[in-house]
Amino acid sequence: MPIIRATCPTCGDVEFSPRLLKVMVCSTTGEASYGFKCPACELLVSKQTDKQVVELLVSTGVAVSFWSLPEELYEQHTGAPIGFDDLIEFHYQLHSGNWSELLENEMKNLSPHFGSEGE
Ligand SMILES: [Zn+2]
């Protein structure tokens, strides 16, 4: 069974089984990192790595998981950011007794910005 050697910032070089290491690869950017819990001090260690190291680790049986950046990063945001006055106004709308009606009217006004879905 192969043994992985990695460096813990507290303990220095430590050795452990590949099943205690996890590789994470971002499918959007290709960036990769690996993480493990130090067998000596139990510190969670995470380090960025490159494709060659990922391939080597996976070939020894290390589990790999893929993740991607959230779609919200590609949304275009327009208008001013939400401010303190907006929060106060929202607070009073919630306590007005007809907030669901107000929300419905706001959504009707916003619907052209969200395409044809729902209308
Ligand atoms: Zn350690």
Measured distance CA(102)–CA(98) in Å, rounded: 6
- Measured between its terminal Cα atoms, the distance across the chain in Å is 60
Measured distance CA(49)–CA(55) in Å, rounded: 11
Cα 6 to ligand 1 centre (Å): 10
**Averaged pLDDT score across all residues of the chain:** 89
Cα 46 to ligand 1 centre (Å): 12
Q: What is the pTM of this model?
A: 0.62
Encode pLDDT of 18-49 as tens digits. 999 999 999 999 999 999 999 999 999 999 99
Nearest by Cα to 46 from 38, 36, 55, 56? 36
Cα 41 to ligand 1 centre (Å): 4
Cα 29 to ligand 1 centre (Å): 30
- Which strand ranges, in their side-by-side order, compose the sheet holding 21-26? 44-49, 32-37, 21-26, 63-67
